[in-house]
Structure 1
């Protein structure tokens, strides 16, 4: 990269200036990028250090570079796009969007998967592997049959699927709902997106559990919402903290995942649920209840009632098939007041003209297949086995509570070691993918281990890697 073709037409220091300007124009150097040390860069360019310093001083004087004695030289973040010439500076545009870009840690994980996926052990992905998805045959439907089914669809979704979901929710969660209160979505995230875009206004304050996978989503920032962390204890969100947030910031909506919460796998107790809906009704703040894991309980003990059952009018309930049928299913549902369902359905139609009939018809077929309940039973048992196998690999330095359902194990790291965001790179160096706590909005020495994709052949290696990591003194 650092090479100039020396010519007598211009002084060498000016050629260095031109080289750096060209790299900025081409996007090879970005705002905040650090240049090599002066001695090292002079050697790469085969020039005298004094010549290089003259070029860097001029670029610094023009505000293109930022130089700090003893620290180094960076491309100035205040001069983005100065040297774009006749070219559109797309780097500027992609850095300005309201949707968050992925974190450096997530980028490193993706790169590792792309480069050596066969050598990577994945304890990070919250997706089912192919061999755990339902083995249910799809119906032999003609194109004309699919088109005919459109007569059974309205803005809020495919009517037979809504009827199936109503029956399932009544049977499994004891929640009675009318068809006009059911909205079929393209997964849970579409429901969340429409809520933020249609029911809230830029600048509104919302409360989200801390930690929570919601912090990894960009939909809240893209809507211009102010996010406030809602701390939890072993029973769920702390209600005194919620009331303080409301009084101080005028919270407009509360987002919770009360059953096998992601990432902690905690389940909010019944008394805490009752107190939560009572408080939110009192302060007139609606609740969004995200419930993707309730089908995956490992015990026969009765589950706490959904918040939707405790307060049907003030709770928007979101369900999904992605955790039992795979993320490519892209079918979810929102249960809410009829007026809310109509508002969201109209907004979606304005955006993308509705939801495709094909996944809805297929999802309805699967949910009514006699093998589906057998699949859920098998899936619960298989996940419980994977959970227990993962626990056998964990060193005694880790602290955790054994989850009674879902995909995840939340582990607190040894307090005698110093953990920063950079410290977690040690897992990547060992080709072990995990989700550090900072990805879930908390600055804790903790991580999420997901056992859904655990392969039994990796158990010994996982055990050895974790032992090596937590016995090292080189974390910083």
Structure 2
């Protein structure tokens, strides 16, 4: 396993790097595995220790290994800072190709769902369940009517829907936009995909909140981007850390979910929002604001000001209907400068990723219906009831902040030293949760999603959690 050819074509330290990368790609070295001590590994490879250290330093810089004094060198368990855009060898395409494979933990969850669907309780899925979908009738439109509506569509989407979104954003958030600044997409992820493909270049560095559901999306690394963790406190992203990341890695764009953030349900404070957009404007780093949950607030107060309102020119705003009407409603929108909208729309057309007229017409009907506002109010109440039912039965040893909106409850576990493999105990107890490592941080925490939780299952969730934590 530890043999290198020692050719004259490449320096020996580069051959060591290539050898370790191959072992990772072939599965001989897994995330978290510890390498032999430096002195022993140098002897196995037949090289000087200084040559080995040079190679390990390079691997550490790339984020492929982690090195801690007293703990040795391990294969990295995360992907912060890792740049995959340069991998073009055919041999690696299946394992390192355009869209990375799911993590083993997610694969185990999927298998458990299929094997024991009736025994499993799912507090991991972030989708809106069928019983919370809106009861809004669809219009009786003929095929000819749908086809005639195509005359109202251009590369940026169905014009009546764009006008409806324009009005909705003005009414709910007091943000004024022009139609040429609104771009209809088939969900938020298509907007993110087009941003990564069209506005960024392979090798660019971006920052995103840590923890963040963005981290779980393969599209960032698939675009060859290097992603860096932007730590948060109780008010939101830490500005000093953002400026340091910019100075060190030349961050090109920042991705945030500032309202009822996924997974923490944290809402960035008004003061931090002002400071955040001011700093990004100062260092000339654009902001991508993803906003799926802001309408799902549990009190009567207005949603906080959008970053888009605070700095219209420097923020790309993404909204969608999936958290309001279900994941099958593949309608989202991006609001940005007209030049950006045109670029993304033309790129989508070139990629032949056109958006069907049917969901756009139906979405416009739903958003224009007075019953939609009634549905949002009802949905807020149902989600709050499910949040309360879950919290009522949780073990006292869990620590959490009560979310004031959205879908998720971020729980800190009482034990402080959970490793990635330790979270398998939740699967063994047939309880599906989202561990912290899936969101890019190695902490003893889990995300519980109450949107799909049947209130009758809440006591069972509490019982299983209590059994897991008491066994530790």
TM-score bracket, shorter-length normalisation:
0.7 to 0.9
Equivalent residue for 1:172?
Answer: 172
Equivalent residue for 2:369?
Answer: 369
* Correspondence 1:41-440 to 2 at 5 A: 93-352=93-352, 354-415=354-415, 418-440=417-439
Equivalent residue for 1:441?
Answer: 440
1:324 Cα offset (Å): 0.5
In structure 1, runs of 5+ residues without a counterpart are 1-29, 35-89
1:203 Cα offset (Å): 0.7
Secondary structure in structure 1 of the residue aligned to 2:298: coil
Residue deviations 1:203-250 (CA, integer Å, cap 9, x gap):
111010000000100111011111110000000000000001111111
2-structure distance, mates of 1:234, 1:111: 36
Equivalent residue for 2:468?
Answer: 469
- Superposition CA RMSD, Å: 1.5
2-structure distance, mates of 1:93, 1:241: 35
Secondary structure in structure 2 of the residue aligned to 1:288: strand
1:92 Cα offset (Å): 5.7
1-structure distance, mates of 2:126, 2:360: 23
Residue deviations 1:71-95 (CA, integer Å, cap 9, x gap):
xxxxxxxxxxxxxxxxxxx996421
Residue deviations 1:27-83 (CA, integer Å, cap 9, x gap):
xxx94479xxxxxxxxxxxxxxxxxxxxxxxxxxxxxxxxxxxxxxxxxxxxxxxxx
1-structure distance, mates of 2:440, 2:125: 18
Q: Is the 8 A contact 2:318 2:333 kept in 1?
A: yes
2-structure distance, mates of 1:465, 1:432: 7
Equivalent residue for 2:47?
Answer: none
In structure 2, runs of 5+ residues without a counterpart are 1-24, 30-89
Secondary structure in structure 2 of the residue aligned to 1:126: coil
Q: Is the 8 A contact 2:270 2:305 kept in 1?
A: yes
Instruction: Report the number of matched residues.
Output: 389
Residue deviations 1:156-214 (CA, integer Å, cap 9, x gap):
00000000000000000110000000000000000000000000001111010000000
Of structures 1 and 2, the larger Rg is shown by 1
1:302 Cα offset (Å): 2.8
1:98 Cα offset (Å): 3.0
Runs of 4+ in structure 1 off by over 6 angstroms are: none
1:444 Cα offset (Å): 0.6
2-structure distance, mates of 1:201, 1:93: 20
1:102 Cα offset (Å): 0.4
Give the TM-score taking structure 2 as reference length: 0.81
Q: Is the 8 A contact 2:390 2:459 kept in 1?
A: no
1:352 Cα offset (Å): 1.5
Equivalent residue for 2:458?
Answer: 459
1:466 Cα offset (Å): 1.0
| CA distance 1:92–1:205, shift in 2 (3 Å) | closer
Residue deviations 1:256-307 (CA, integer Å, cap 9, x gap):
0000000000000011000011011111110000000011000112322000
1:458 Cα offset (Å): 1.2
1:426 Cα offset (Å): 0.8
